[in-house]
Structure 1
């Protein structure tokens, strides 16, 4: 099998992968909204890959068609934008907004079809770079704000956390480099590698989005009101629940609740979310997420390690309030400087 035949095979594989996975996501779109969005993106990418299958026929092997394919390839940038905006701002994606994002790509492609020129190609390349950098810039700050919000408000963040986007960004960056290389120096190897990278990166997306739990952050006006209220309370009373909160968490063993949220503590001390979050950040120099994990390690895990050596590490993690072994291991090592296995070995040696 020649290099080009391998590329054709991977092109067809990518098309079938996106088509089948898109259908599967849409079939279960009633379960989660993100399934609907990812399903639409995958069907869009299936159609986008199909154009390359058509181009594989010799009758379409012309310079004009190749340049048009490059213009159409740029449309894939919209899929990244739609995914990112929906993840950090659930409900943001609408048909109208998707149409607005696609409009400049449609205009460039239509212009090139009617008035093909090298100058227009160069302008289009500049637009793609600007569009990509803008999306990355916006996404970086929105994801950072989103991550800060969930760490300040939730304990069970396994299906909310967006740290997996780092992996997607890395693979997508490598994929786009392959696309640029293939646009200027086309070959079967770069073609095949590009299609393979597409399957890998979007498979990661489908995997993580399958159980993703969308969280809607408070609006600007709501946050502003809470901040103003907090500022007034801090000026007059400081943090009246200081000390009492920590005592109640210990007495009621709230740190053992896997799904404990900041709102649970708000109701416990009769405060508000922003005020309590400020207390963790400013007075305790930590986040709600990290504070509860610290209590789980100190008051849950370590006593179980010491007094119940017969328990497995997994059992200790779950009995201490963790619902993810990976989260438990990270928290344990952060708190003790050792992995759970190293800590158990140290206890056995003493």
Structure 2
């Protein structure tokens, strides 16, 4: 019965990770998709490999178990690579990836050649330090990433990383279970670890698959300054302000739900840096806040003067979703759209 449970669990997880590898291969050739695809392939191969070494008498001191665990750690840097590509798109290089991966490859090789278990202990310690470091790094980077997004985008759907915080804490739970599983070899703990990991990866893959690439909108290290030069180098801040406000207030460009800072810069004949600086200095506001303030004001007009449904008002005002509309409206007006409409009727 126990063998049936573990083989069924391994089979189920192998099929899931293999399917995810195929889905992300089909998704596109962007770096994030390729990283997820490779990680899914590594996990699938690792699971198939483990099936040849599982047996009833295996324990935490068993040589096969130690080698299996050591080899499985090769996948760990790919978790970090995905986090880096999510939080700092475009900064991950092949050289950086090789440097990260080196200790996770060399230590298992040394362990296999010498059979000195000290190498395994070093690998486990390094793996723990590496994992905790990138967990903390990610939690610090997410607010910085969101700040940059607010300077470049007028929407949040499919580009924010709030979901990653929940996933990070879930990973800690899985990591704890993995440590217990590595020390106490038990068929049911192993199954719980496998199923728990798979469920979390279902959510991760779902979010990553919908995640919109923001690489073209973000200024990354090493980008040539010439690529973002203004069309007219003599343009002054006053002219930029006049052009921006004409575009926004007269042409109502904010009603485009997908408008980005680069779109504004292109339409007024400037560049993203100048436009972003104008918002920060002259409006003491991010691009995101400025655009969504205008959208909320437009929605207020519709709520006062029409009987349109809230869904239609949300769409007409330039919001990508009703949830974002409700949240920002309540934040800026201190009441829900329905409450605002009711107040208008009583006046």
Distance 2:94 2:18 in 1: 20
Equivalent residue number for residue 75 of structure 1: 74
Question: Aligned pair in 2 of structure 1 residues 327, 143: CA closer, same or farther (>3 Å)?
Answer: same
Q: How far apart are 1:25 and its partner, in Å?
A: 2.5
Name which of structure 1's ranges 102-111 and 118-127 shifts more when overlaid on structure 2. Answer: 118-127
Q: How far apart are 1:335 and its partner, in Å?
A: 1.0
Confirm or deny: 8 A CA contact 2:229 2:271 kept in the other structure: no
Q: Secondary structure at the match of 2:100?
A: helix
> Which stretches in structure 2 are left out of the alignment for 5+ residues?
none
Equivalent residue number for residue 109 of structure 2: 110
Q: How far apart are 1:322 and its partner, in Å?
A: 0.9
Question: Aligned pair in 2 of structure 1 residues 16, 317: CA closer, same or farther (>3 Å)?
Answer: same
Distance 2:78 2:221 in 1: 27
Q: Is 1:313 aligned to 2:310, yes or no?
A: yes
Distance 2:152 2:201 in 1: 29
Q: How far apart are 1:287 and its partner, in Å?
A: 0.9
For each residue in 1:130-177, what CA deviation from the matched residue of structure 2 results, as whole angstroms up to 9, or x when unmatched? Answer: 222343355455544433322211224423323322222122121111
TM-score if structure 1 supplies the norm length?
0.83
Q: How far apart are 1:47 and its partner, in Å?
A: 1.2
Q: How far apart are 1:325 and its partner, in Å?
A: 2.3
Q: Secondary structure at the match of 1:218?
A: coil
1:26-175 alignment to 2 at 5 Å?
A: 26-29=25-28, 33-58=31-56, 63-90=62-89, 98-140=97-139, 143-175=142-174
Question: Aligned pair in 2 of structure 1 residues 187, 344: CA closer, same or farther (>3 Å)?
Answer: farther
Q: Is 1:218 aligned to 2:215, yes or no?
A: no
Q: How far apart are 1:79 and its partner, in Å?
A: 2.3
Confirm or deny: 8 A CA contact 2:152 2:260 kept in the other structure: yes
Question: Aligned pair in 2 of structure 1 residues 285, 193: CA closer, same or farther (>3 Å)?
Answer: farther
Residue 332 of structure 1, aligned match among 329, 334, 344:
329
Distance 1:122 1:210 in 2: 36
1:169-318 alignment to 2 at 5 Å?
A: 169-216=168-215, 217-220=218-221, 239-242=238-241, 245-298=244-297, 300-309=298-307, 311-318=308-315
Question: Aligned pair in 2 of structure 1 residues 343, 13: CA closer, same or farther (>3 Å)?
Answer: farther
Name which of structure 1's ranges 21-30 and 146-155 shifts more when overlaid on structure 2. Answer: 21-30
For each residue in 1:63-121, what CA deviation from the matched residue of structure 2 results, as whole angstroms up to 9, or x when unmatched? Answer: 11222222223223122022123334555667665444332112111222233345333
For each residue in 1:266-289, what CA deviation from the matched residue of structure 2 results, as whole angstroms up to 9, or x when unmatched? Answer: 244444322221222233222101
Distance 1:59 1:233 in 2: 78
Distance 1:347 1:65 in 2: 73
Distance 2:221 2:92 in 1: 19
Question: Aligned pair in 2 of structure 1 residues 49, 79: CA closer, same or farther (>3 Å)?
Answer: farther
Confirm or deny: 8 A CA contact 1:25 1:38 kept in the other structure: yes
Question: Aligned pair in 2 of structure 1 residues 51, 337: CA closer, same or farther (>3 Å)?
Answer: farther
Q: How far apart are 1:127 and its partner, in Å?
A: 0.8
Distance 1:334 1:225 in 2: 39
Distance 1:250 1:77 in 2: 50
Question: Aligned pair in 2 of structure 1 residues 52, 337: CA closer, same or farther (>3 Å)?
Answer: farther
Distance 1:173 1:112 in 2: 27
- RMSD (CA atoms): 3.4
